[in-house]
């Protein structure tokens, strides 16, 4: 029996259509199926005449690519949790496990030169924006070869048109509007996606930003990743209305199933086209869930039950959902799935070993990267000559 949401298959010319039912039921011969069409989750809309499509095509190539990225991010975050408990990673560390469909779906829907700015739960986005997992884990551990040379840690990672995470709750939203303003000023056709959580959705600066963004019709998508809890407080206890996609009032909104990567991708395409056309900002709410606590100092079980977390893992997990779509449609077989999982496992295991073995930044690096040209020989910073002179002052 086909899973709910599955619509049809598109096979190569060598495969006869009466054969498709047997193909799907046996979950084999995946190479014979190049693409399949799926029904998408419903997307309630606000101040829009129409919303995202009801169906979408997924190709074998894209499906396997999404699955590989999901596996890598999930395993990377699990490794970060283990390294934190081993005291190799210290300080703040906010994990993205459970929310992988959000970043992967959005990233698949935008252009490479579009901008992203997010909150402190940013490791998944960092990976998607081209930073290898080994550099992310080394950065989390404060090692020299980390993507920010071991100086930034969990919240300070960057990439091409990726403005990183932000440790101040909600502060990335007005920054994102500023990036969108720069795009509009330059007339380059680019947009900015500014992400925040349901807790940050109650910050006053967001509403001030909504006002300016709509007043100037900025090419910006505001994305509320609603994972159900702002730190340890449920959305029902924190907000008089939990319909976050309507919070922009005069800004159009879309509510999206953030656990379905295909629905996220299509909704983001719709929002990106809207913002890019000159109509102004859009607000998207992605209903998702985090499996870990707010940060590593939060066990995540005092304000919700373990049964609740396990129920989401069993019924809504984005990785399991995509895997079943791939197998049931014939876009992938079990060998494809096992190969991807093994490759992701090996990549993260190697990254963990590197993070454990990599050296800490030397003391003389303390005075580097303060100014854009401070790697030049003989450059003096505030009258000091690195650590040796500073120590004698």
Q: How far is CA 164 from the centre of its chain?
A: 11
The per-residue pLDDT for 118 is 98
Q: Name the pTM for this structure.
A: 0.91
The per-residue pLDDT for 367 is 75
Q: How far is CA 303 from the centre of its chain?
A: 25
Q: CB-based contacts of 134: which residues, under 8 Å, 6+ apart?
A: 145, 350, 351, 354, 355
Query: What are the CA-CA distances from residue 261 to residues 11, 38, 105, 267 (Å)?
Result: 22, 12, 5, 10
Q: CB-based contacts of 137: which residues, under 8 Å, 6+ apart?
A: 76, 79, 80, 83, 348, 351, 352, 354, 355
The per-residue pLDDT for 390 is 47
Instruction: Encode pLDDT of 245-264 as tens digits.
Output: 999 999 999 999 999 999 99
Instruction: Encode pLDDT of 70-100 as tens digits.
Output: 999 999 999 999 999 999 999 999 999 999 9
Instruction: Encode pLDDT of 285-308 as tens digits.
Output: 999 999 999 999 999 999 999 999
Q: How far is CA 114 from the centre of its chain?
A: 15
Region of poorest pLDDT, from 21-25, 283-287, 347-351, 376-380: 21-25
Positive or negative CA dihedral for 345, 349, 354, 360?
A: positive
Instruction: Encode pLDDT of 19-68 as tens digits.
Output: 444 444 456 556 679 999 999 999 999 999 999 999 999 999 999 999 99
Measured CA angle at 66 (ends 88, 26), to 5 deg: 120
- Among the residues of the chain, which ranges form H helices? 20-26, 60-85, 100-107, 123-128, 133-140, 172-186, 204-215, 235-238, 261-276, 306-315, 318-329, 334-357, 386-392
The per-residue pLDDT for 18 is 44
Q: CB-based contacts of 84: which residues, under 8 Å, 6+ apart?
A: 90, 93, 296
Which residue is associated with the tokens 């560390």? 93
pLDDT-based confidence at residue 370 (cuts at 50, 70, 90): confident
How high does pLDDT run on average in the chain? 91
């Amino acid at each position: 029996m086909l899973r709910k949401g599955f619509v049809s298959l598109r096979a190569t010319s060598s495969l006869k259509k009466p054969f498709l039912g047997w193909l799907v039921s046996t979950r084999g011969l995946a190479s014979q199926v190049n693409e399949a069409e799926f029904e998408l989750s419903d997307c309630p809309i606000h101040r829009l005449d129409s919303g995202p499509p009801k169906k979408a095509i997924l190709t074998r190539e894209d499906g396997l690519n999404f699955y590989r990225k999901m596996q890598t991010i999930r395993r990377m975050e699990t490794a970060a949790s283990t390294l934190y408990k081993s005291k190799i990673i210290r300080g703040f560390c906010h994990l993205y496990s459970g929310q992988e469909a959000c970043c992967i779906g959005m990233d698949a829907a935008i252009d490479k030169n579009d901008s992203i700015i997010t909150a402190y739960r940013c490791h998944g986005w960092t990976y998607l924006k081209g930073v290898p997992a080994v550099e992310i884990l080394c950065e989390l551990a404060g090692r020299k070869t980390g993507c920010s040379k071991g100086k930034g840690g969990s919240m300070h990672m960057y990439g091409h048109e990726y403005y990183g995470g932000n440790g101040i709750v909600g502060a990335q939203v007005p920054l994102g509007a500023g990036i969108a303003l720069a795009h509009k000023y330059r007339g380059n056709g680019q947009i900015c996606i500014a992400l925040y959580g349901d807790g940050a959705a109650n910050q006053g600066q967001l509403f001030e930003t909504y006002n300016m963004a709509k007043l100037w019709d900025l090419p910006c998508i505001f994305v509320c990743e609603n994972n159900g809890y702002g730190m340890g407080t449920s959305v029902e206890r924190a907000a008089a209305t939990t319909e976050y996609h309507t919070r922009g009032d005069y800004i159009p909104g879309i509510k999206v199933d953030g656990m379905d990567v295909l629905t996220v991708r299509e909704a983001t395409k719709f929002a990106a086209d809207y913002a890019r056309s000159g109509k102004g900002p859009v607000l998207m709410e992605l209903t998702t869930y985090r499996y870990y606590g707010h940060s590593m100092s939060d066990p995540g079980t005092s304000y919700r039950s373990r049964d609740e977390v396990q129920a989401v893992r069993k019924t809504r997990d984005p990785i399991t959902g995509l895997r079943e779509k791939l197998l049931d449609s014939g876009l992938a077989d079990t060998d494809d799935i096992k190969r991807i999982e093994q490759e992701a496992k090996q990549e993260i295991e190697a990254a963990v070993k590197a993070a454990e073995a990599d050296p800490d930044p030397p003391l003389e690096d303390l005075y580097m990267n303060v100014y854009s040209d401070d790697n030049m020989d003989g450059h003096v910073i505030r009258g000091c000559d690195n650590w040796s002179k500073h120590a004698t002052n």
